[in-house]
């Protein structure tokens, strides 16, 4: 499978020129604080409170905060523009991360720790979904129709690969900083990065793309009820399943390595899945259009399920690496395909809202998976915890099957986002 980037074809190079090289650098770095949060919170809570189950619940609280406020922040970006929303979030999230770090070591009830984690999730800057929203708007509103579908596919592939890369790099950075400077360092450095990089993302000229179009066109956004149509909800559930997989795999892997006295190496092994995911996410843009989106979801989710089934036979680190490698082949292309369906099902004027719904689903799924697996690993053992990724992968396949019935065959091979009116 070959790889592509947002600048491989003439149309893609046009997108790269229009957005500017600085945009892709800033948007990539601005993702990193969010990628560090879940693992950073997990690491800090284990060290400060000495409980894997509490650490999982703390990560889950981050996810609940994201679930409650992520889509609302996307709706605010659609209504008021991305820049003011992101500037407030950059400062608010930095403050919340510092607060959580202080509370973790303070002699306060666990409930205070969970509330602090909730605040971190509630203020988490939605850089990845808002970046998708910006680029999709640029492609659909300011680029020639010729080559638009190809550019959109390449861009969504790049965006998913960028997410995967930072979510691989994030745990590695957390592990390195925690080892060198202590478990509080990742969140404190993440706070500084959130303030600086998310601030830069907010101030980039691209933040005005969506708001400029809406002022010029003068129309109102679609009704909120259109966000609850089955074609979109099945994608939300499918992406939730991906997040669930991330959370169950990471926490089960941590328990697996902890049993061998090498818990600190879990983040590095987790990177095996993420690296493969990023590579294959990029490569999906090179697949022929005859390989429909509906079929891609089923095929790559099936590969993902196959990778999780290998966990039933894993007895050593080598077997775990094999399982993670196979999962990596399936996860990236599945995510790209799901975002393609989400883009196509976006109601007019609700691009940022939909993208934050999808992005929040990943984080919520990851947090729920982490919390559930932490409890199972602590009470029933690692071998039982390793069954949970299989259930998560099965939910992704099930959502893909439902998606087939909701999307006509004639429309399954191309992205058709609706114009903001």
The model's pLDDT over 265-276, given as tens digits with 9 standing for 90+, comes to 777 788 788 788
pLDDT tier at 115, thresholds 50, 70, 90: very high
What average pLDDT does this structure show over 294-301? 93
> What's the confidence (pLDDT) of residue 216?
45
pLDDT of 92 reads 95
Q: Which has the closest alpha carbon to 361: 24, 12, 68? A: 68
For the stretch 168-218, pLDDT in tens is 677 667 777 877 888 888 889 889 988 999 999 999 888 776 654 444 444
In which band, very low, low, confident or very high, does the pLDDT at 415 lie, cut at 50, 70 and 90? very low
Going by CATH, does the domain composed of 20-411 fall within 1.10.630.10? no
pLDDT higher than 90, residue 340: no
Is pLDDT larger for residue 343 or for residue 382? 382
pTM of the predicted model as reported, rounded to 2 decimal places: 0.75
* Residues 274, 160: Cα–Cα separation, whole Å: 11
Q: Which among 346, 343, 330, 339 has a CA at the least distance from the CA of 392?
A: 330
Query: Mean pLDDT across the stretch 324-353?
Result: 84
Residue 105 sits at the vertex; the CA angle it makes with 101 and 110, to the nearest 5 degrees, is 95
Comparing 297 with 288, which gets the higher pLDDT? Answer: 297
Residues contacting residue 267 through CB under 8 Å, at least 6 positions apart: 39, 171, 172, 174, 175
User: Does residue 15 have a pLDDT over 50?
Assistant: yes
Name the percent of the chain lying above pLDDT 70: 87
Q: Residue 208's pLDDT is what?
A: 75
Residue 370 half-sphere exposure, CB side, CA atoms within 13 Å? 32
State pLDDT tens for residues 362-393.
Answer: 878 887 888 889 889 989 999 999 999 999 99
Tally of helices (H runs) and strands (E runs) in the chain: 17, 0
Indicate the angle between helix axes 21-49 and 148-181, nearest 10 degrees: 40
User: Please, are residues 77 and 24 in contact by the beta-carbon 8 Å criterion?
Assistant: no
Give the 3-state secondary structure of 133-164: HHHHHHHHHHCCCCCHHHHHHHHHHHHHHHHH
pLDDT range class, residue 102, cuts 50, 70, 90: very high
The dihedral through the CA atoms of 357, 330, 63, 80 has a sign that is negative
Of residues 165, 127, 208, 154, the one with CA closest to residue 15: 154
pLDDT at 223: 67
* Alpha-carbon distances of 233 from 84, 228, 341, rounded to whole Å: 28, 6, 11
State the DSSP H helix or E strand holding residue 318, giving kind and residue range, or none if neither: helix 317-344
pLDDT in tens, 77-98: 888 888 999 999 999 999 999 9
What pLDDT does 311 receive?
A: 95
Query: What digits encode the pLDDT tens for the residues 47-75?
Result: 888 787 788 788 778 878 888 888 888 88
DSSP code, position 198: I
Q: What local confidence, expressed as pLDDT, does residue 384 receive? A: 94
For residues 294 and 278, the answer to whether their CB atoms sit within 8 Å is no
CB-hemisphere CA count at 13 Å for 181? Answer: 11
Q: What pLDDT, on the 0 to 100 scale, is given for residue 201?
A: 92
Burial of residue 155 (CB within 10 Å: 0-12, 13-18, 19+) is buried
pLDDT surpasses 70 at 420: no
| Mean pLDDT over each residue of the chain, to the nearest integer | 82
Q: Strand locations in 54-124, DSSP E?
A: none
pLDDT digits (tens, 9 = 90+) for 316-327: 999 999 999 999
Stretch 232-251: mean pLDDT: 92
Cα separation, 336 vs 342, in Å, equals 10
Segments making up each domain of the chain, as ranges: 20-411
């Amino acid at each position: 499978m070959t790889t592509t980037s947002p600048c491989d074809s003439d149309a893609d190079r046009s997108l790269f020129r229009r957005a500017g090289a600085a945009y892709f650098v800033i948007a990539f770095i601005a993702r990193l604080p969010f990628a560090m949060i879940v693992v950073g919170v997990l690491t800090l809570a284990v060290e400060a409170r000495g409980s894997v189950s509490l650490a999982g619940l703390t990560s889950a609280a981050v996810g609940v905060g994201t679930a409650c406020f992520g889509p609302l922040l996307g709706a605010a970006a659609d209504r008021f523009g991305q820049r003011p929303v992101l500037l407030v979030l950059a400062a608010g999230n930095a403050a919340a991360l510092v607060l959580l770090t202080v509370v973790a070591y303070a002699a306060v009830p666990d409930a205070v720790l969970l509330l602090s984690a909730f605040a971190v999730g509630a203020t988490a800057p939605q850089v990845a979904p808002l970046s998708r929203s910006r680029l999709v708007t640029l492609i659909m509103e300011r680029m020639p129709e010729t080559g638009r579908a190809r550019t959109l596919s390449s861009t969504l592939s790049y965006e998913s690969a960028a997410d995967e890369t930072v979510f691989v790099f994030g745990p590695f950075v957390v592990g390195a900083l925690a080892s060198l400077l202590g478990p509080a360092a990742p969140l404190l450095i993440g706070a500084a990065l959130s303030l600086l990089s998310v601030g830069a993302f907010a101030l980039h000229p691209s933040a005005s793309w969506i708001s400029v179009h809406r002022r010029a066109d003068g129309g109102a956004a679609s009704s909120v009820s259109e966000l609850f149509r089955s074609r979109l909800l099945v994608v939300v559930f499918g992406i939730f399943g991906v997040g669930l997989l991330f959370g169950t795999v990471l926490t089960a892997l941590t328990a697996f390595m902890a049993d061998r006295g090498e818990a600190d190496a879990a983040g590095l092994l987790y990177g095996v899945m993420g690296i493969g995911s990023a590579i294959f996410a990029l490569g999906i843009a090179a697949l022929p259009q005859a390989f429909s989106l509906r079929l891609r979801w089923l095929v790559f989710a099936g590969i993902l399920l196959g990778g999780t089934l290998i966990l039933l036979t894993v007895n050593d680190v080598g077997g775990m690496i094999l399982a993670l490698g196979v999962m990596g082949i399936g996860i990236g292309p599945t995510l790209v395909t799901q975002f393609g369906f989400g883009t196509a099902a976006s109601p007019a004027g609700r691009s940022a809202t939909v993208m934050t719904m999808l992005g929040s689903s990943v984080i919520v799924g990851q947090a729920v998976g982490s919390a559930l697996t932490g409890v199972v690993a602590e009470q029933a053992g690692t071998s039982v915890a390793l069954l949970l990724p299989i259930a998560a992968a099965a939910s992704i396949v099930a959502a893909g099957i439902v998606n087939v019935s909701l999307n006509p065959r004639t429309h399954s091979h191309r992205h058709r986002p609706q114009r903001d009116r």
